[in-house]
Each structure stands twice: as structure tokens, then as C-alpha cells.
Structure 1
Amino acid sequence: GRLWKQAAKPGSERWNEVMETLLKRGFTIDPTFTAYLASRDLMRMNRAVWHNEYTMPALWDWYRPSRINHGSYWFDWTTEREMDWKENFRLWMAFVNEYKNRGGRVTVGSDAGYIYNTYGFGYIQEMELLREAGFSPLEVINAATQQGARLLGHDADIGTIEPGKKADLVIVKGNPIANLKLLFATGTLKLDDTTGKAQRVGGIAWTVKDGIFYEGKALRADIRAMVARSKAERGLPPGYMTIEQEDLTQ
């Protein structure tokens, strides 16, 4: 969490030298900011609303503080460490955004499976973090689609919507350019002023892979059933994904 603070300062000669070298080599940055998001706000990530229904208990066990499990380093987490990481993100994001502004390729990845970073949800969080770094919403979408396809060498088949390309699409109800949170599989909450009640909006309605349609609602139901079944097999209560209750009730 202190690495970027130890590196060259933004705009310095060394900073620019590294930047120009990477640009000259056609280097692609796939930062996976979200893999370290818990480091700057642990409570936010281990209380994420999707854990209880969409995080498998075996994965949750892997997330917990451990001297052995990769990425599970919360055995003595402090406010000071989180402050270090907040500054680390600020400098890291500045470099990535400047790299993009200078013509460098930046793509989207989540490195899920570690550090309270759950598959699928982490990918959209990464898009939000690129937005925080200074990318416009359209630049975020471009990084997640066209730039990723180019990096993988598959831009002739995927990455943009064009005649002749594969129909690989995520269809949501709403405009993600206005609110990237609509891309979360479960959507997000919004107040309905006509009823005075919060309603869930957005969410993935359909996933289209090679022209085959998969209903988002049905896919989510399958995952919830898998998680519930795994909890039942281990004798765990449905609300297992909670912090240690015995520590709070003493």
C-alpha cells in the first residue's frame, strides 16, 4: 500500500520516462483496481450486499483473515493502513488515467476470487474505479469492450456491435452511461417518487453469447441456489456471510 508513494512523483522526469517507455512498447495496462478495493475500505467490501446470496461459503472462508491464504491479510487491519491505500489508489489512478490520455491502452479486469472480490460483481466495480480514475463513462465502456478485444486479438469477432461479428452482449434496463451501477447483475436501488418506496432498477436482463440468449433472472436464481445448497451441506445458516457475531454480542 505504500509502493506508489515510494515511486517517482507525478509529472517527474522518471514518471515521464516510464510512461514513454511503456507507450513506445505498446504496453497494455489492466490495473484490476478492484482486487485491492478492500484495502482502502475493508468494512465496505466485506459488507457488500451480494455476498450473502452470491458468494460461495468456501470462497468466503478464503477471504477471511489468514497467514496462509493468498490475499487474506486482514489479521491486523488498521485505519493507518487504509489511509496508505487511499493514497496508493490516488497515485496509481493518476498514472493509469494519464497513460490512457497519452494514447496507451487500458483494459478492464477484476482478478476476482480474492480479497472480498466476488466474480461478476467485481468486474463492474472495476469499471466504476476507472470512472473514479478520470475515465469518462464512454471510455470505461470502450476499455471493457473494444480495447479488451483488441488486446486478446479477437477484435475481428467481438468488442463492437457490427454486422458479421459475434452477438456477445449484455442487455440491461437503463442507460449505463448515466449510471454504471445498472450493470451490476442485481441492479441498484432508486427511490420511486410516485410511491415513496425504493425500487430495484437496472440489472442484467439478458446475456447473449454467440447469439444464444440467457435470461439474467434465471442465471441469478441458479447461482443463489448453488450458494444456498452449499451452505446447507455444511450446516451453515442462510445468513452465514456475516462478521463474527460472538464478537459483537459480548
Structure 2
Amino acid sequence: MLASAAAVAVAVTAAAPSAQTPATASAGTTAVHARQVKRLVIKNAMVIPGPATPAYGPIDILAEDGVIARMGNSADEHWPAPDAIVDATGKYVMPGIVNTHMHWHEERVGPLPIQYERNLYLASGVTTAREVGGNFEKTKQWRAESAAHTIVAPRIVLYPMLADLLEKNQTFNRTPAEHRALVQRAKDRGADGLKLIGPMDRDQVAATLDEAKKVGLPTTVHIAVGDATARDFVDLGVNCIEHFYGVADAALDGIQDFPPEMNYSNEIHRFGRAGELYIQNNFDHEKLSKLLDDMVAKGVAWSPTMSTYEAARDLVKAQNLPWYKDYLHPSVEDYYQPSMTRHGTFWIGWTATQEAKWRRNYRVWMDALLEFGRKGGTITTGDDAAYLYGSLYGFGVIRELELHEEAGFHPLEVLKHATVDGAKILGLSERLGRVRLGFIADLLVVNGNPLENLRVLNPYGTDLMSYNGQIVSNYSGIVKPGDPNVKMVHGGGIEWTIKDGIPYHVPTLMKEVKDMVNKARTERSRTTSQPQH
């Protein structure tokens, strides 16, 4: 899909050159999808800088050689002539989103084009993606290709799981010495960090984190029900915690009240009981607060991935999201179907009582996250997409932002989680995550104000109120009941995702996604309709 992506010129009639090949354009040329130029100017933008400070503008922004070189008034300050221009009049510009928890998939149930995921992430504003488990060598190759701009994709940060580093047919007895050896292998093979996954015993955790510190690899962890809880990982020096497992376990007086029939290998048991973790009778809030204090003191971040599990609290909603019609690939659609074997597809016989418990679990989880944030903790955003219903690549990231607001954070704080804080835990905070001079030009040009409505970031768009053709707040005092000038319109969406100063036109990306989905559906229909012999 790369050739077709680069061949579409936006707002001009001429075709673009090959994907991301540097090109010389005449001064004042409208930006072209995936065309790299030396100087790109964004004009008349309202700017959301990133660190939870208010928007300001309108101003112009010059990206030169992929870096924010000037901010101000291009005409009054006599800037050099741009090679391409993005008109941001009436739009907001914010930093690109850092997705701190994702996985690249080339198969769900059947093959899945990797460009499908890349397009959806870019269309959702993700300019940096931390993969936390996958095919190590492929992701390493894609990381290099993304950095060289030979593929249309977010910047890639590689945090393999230890299991990703095992040689073919290698025996792994999970001894502390084996954990140390795999950490060293990760370093030697070029990993950016490590993702640990439980259940783990404390001696295994101690060896892994000690070795990671020695070789200079940052760590994050998915804590499962095991010997080591968040208390152990925090005390032993992990850098980040994923999801919610382990945090609540460390706040219990004793252990979770598992019934006798509990089978941890049964996904229905596992996820059903996980939804009761924060509402245990022996949950001790003082213990939780002490853990959160220690996380803040030791600089341990939290990537909660709340959007990942949301189907557990409202399955019917998650099964019927409006963007599925055009953008849900059959391979993912088939994966979502209830199964006793596929990870995260535990919906067989899912009950109203289980959903009610998950909703209560979310409330306490969100309160814990808000408390952590108010104490000064670093919080990031990730989607862990394409396992449970509802969390689709990119769309899950935007829903994650909405859930952070539901937890009690101001939209400015939410966008800080998605940008500044994400860059911080990846060790990129000196050059990424802000709209600031000298920083990498990872920028989103948004149709609307995400501080007023985070849903304008959704690549599907959202419903808005129009008054005499102008978008207005539905709380506007000029709107009166029965006024014929009021209409509901569909709008919003990111117009341009800019990564390293290269503009990607979101409507073009989404058209390509739709074409991929239609092609796959046609092929599936043709295959399934063939007579059986």
C-alpha cells in the first residue's frame, strides 16, 4: 500500500513522488501526503504545547529538516520560503501521540496487512509506538525503516518480552541465570528496553531488573497473579507498570478471594475474576496509597490501558462501534469472536453481573490512577489493541484519552499523558512530546479543539453542533430550543499527522484502510461462497 499512499496528492492535481522521497516544491505549494520537504510551514494554528498549559495562537510553525525551527509570524518575521504549507486556520496543533503499549500483528484470524495498522495509528495521531512484545527481528527492521522514512509508519520503540528472544527450540527453565542471559541478549541484539510479563517469582524479578540496570535497558511489566506483585517490582526498580494487575494485588490484606473452581488458564475465569480485583473486601486503601507514594518517589510510571478492557463493562456497545462498518478488517473481526482458545475473547456466557463488577472495578481503578496523578506520578497512554472487542488499532488510543478524562483528569492533563509523559518514559523527553523550538516536528493538525471535545481526535470523526454553518458548543447561549439554524453535522478528525516533519493526510490514510478492508471482505466472501468438494 505504500506506493498508493504516496501517489495521492492532497488539494493539488499533480501526483506525488514515491513515498517519502525528498522533493523540491515551489514556494507556497499545499502539502502533499507523505511527501518529505526541507521546509514545511503550518499557518495560523492554535497551539496546544503539551505540558498541560493552555493553548495559544494563532501562530505559524516552521518545520525544517524534521525539527521545529521557528514559531511566530512567518510574514512579519520574513521566514525563508517554505516548500510546502499546511493551512491550520480554525484548527488546533498539538504534539504527536506516544502509544506506550501496542503490538504489531501480521495475523489475527487469517493474514492482516501490516500497513492497515500503521495507517490506523498514524490516522489516530500516533507518531511514536512502543511495541511491548512481538516478532523481534521484524520489528527491529521496521524500526530502522521508519527511522529512514522508507515506510509510512509511526516511529517504533522496541521493548521485547524475554520469550521473544529465545532461540528456536531453546529450553527455558526460568532460572534467574537464564533471565539474566536473555536480558544481555536483548541488549546485544539492539532492544530499546524490556517488557516483563508475569507471573514471576521474586528472585526472577530481582535477577532480571538487576541485569537490566547493569546493561542500561529500561523496563516495563505486565504483572500477573504470582509471587511478585507491584510492591516487589517497585522495590526492585522497574521503570513502568502496564494495565492494573499487581497494583491492586499489592493493596490486599492477604490474597484475592478466588473460588475453588478458579482455573487461571481459563480466560473466562481469569478476566472475570480480574474484574473483581479492586472491589475485594480485603482491599486496603492505605496500602494502595503507600504503593502509589513509592511509585512516585522511585519514578515508576503507569500505563493503564483502560480502553483495552472496556468491553468487559459494556460488551454490547463494544461489539457495535460505528467505525466497524468501514474500518474493521475481517481478520480482526474474526479474532474478536467468542472463543475458549484465543487470548482476550472470553465472551461465552458473559453476564450482566460480570459487567457490573467490572464497572465497579473501573471506578476504583480510575480513582487509584487519579490519586497517582495527583501525587505527581507519570501516566501514559496505550491501547494494546486487537484482542478484546472495542480496542481497535488507533481508535483504542483515542478512547484511552476519553477514559483518562472520565477518571477525573483535565483534558490538558490527558494530552500531557499522551505526549509529554509518553516521551518521558521512553527517554525522549529532550526532543519529543512538545510543540517547542528545537523539538522533533511530530505534530497533529486537528479539525476542532480537543480540549473541548477529545472525540475530535477520533479518525472516524464525531457528531458536532452547527449554527448557521459554524461549529459551536452545544452549551452556546445563542442556541435556542426550536432554532432552525441548528443542525447536527459530522466533523472533527485529525487532518494531518506530521512525523519528523513529513505530513500524512489522514483522510488519505483512512481511504486506504477502507480499501484494504473492502478487498479483504470481498476475498473472504469469494472464498466462503465457493462450493465444497
TM-score by length of 1: 0.90
1:150 equivalenced with 2:418 (yes/no): no
Question: What are the residue-to-residue correspondences of 1:173-212 with 2, within 5 Å?
Answer: 173-194=447-468, 197-212=487-502
1:98 equivalenced with 2:371 (yes/no): yes
Question: What are the residue-to-residue correspondences of 1:1-250 with 2, within 5 Å?
Answer: 1-6=275-280, 9=283, 12-116=285-389, 117-194=391-468, 197-235=487-525
Give the superposed CA RMSD: 1.6
After superposition, give the CA deviation of every residue in 1:52-109 in whole Å (9 maximum; x if it has no partner).
2111111111111000110000001111011010000000000000000000111111
73-82 or 195-204, which deviates more: 195-204
> Contact 2:398–2:457 at 8 Å: present in 1 too?
yes
Cα offset, 1:196, TM superposition: 5.1
Give the strand-richer structure, 1 or 2.
2
After superposition, give the CA deviation of every residue in 1:157-189 in whole Å (9 maximum; x if it has no partner).
210011111111111111100000000012101
Cα offset, 1:9, TM superposition: 4.3
After superposition, give the CA deviation of every residue in 1:108-152 in whole Å (9 maximum; x if it has no partner).
111111112101111000000000001100000000000000100
Gapped runs of 5+ residues in structure 1? Answer: 237-250
Residue type at the aligned position of 2:434: T
For 2:378 and 2:295, the matched residues in 1 are separated by 10
> Contact 1:8–1:15 at 8 Å: present in 2 too?
no
35-44 or 156-165, which deviates more: 156-165
- The structure whose Rg is larger is 2
Residue type at the aligned position of 2:453: N
> Contact 2:344–2:387 at 8 Å: present in 1 too?
yes
Q: Secondary structure at the match of 1:29?
A: strand
For 2:334 and 2:506, the matched residues in 1 are separated by 27
> Contact 2:293–2:375 at 8 Å: present in 1 too?
no
> Contact 2:462–2:490 at 8 Å: present in 1 too?
yes
Give the helix-richer structure, 1 or 2.
1
Q: 1:181 to 1:8 in 2, by over 3 A?
A: farther
TM-score by length of 2: 0.43
Q: Secondary structure at the match of 2:364?
A: helix
Question: Which 4+ residue blocks in structure 1 deviate beyond 6 angstroms?
Answer: none
Aligned sequence identity (%):
39
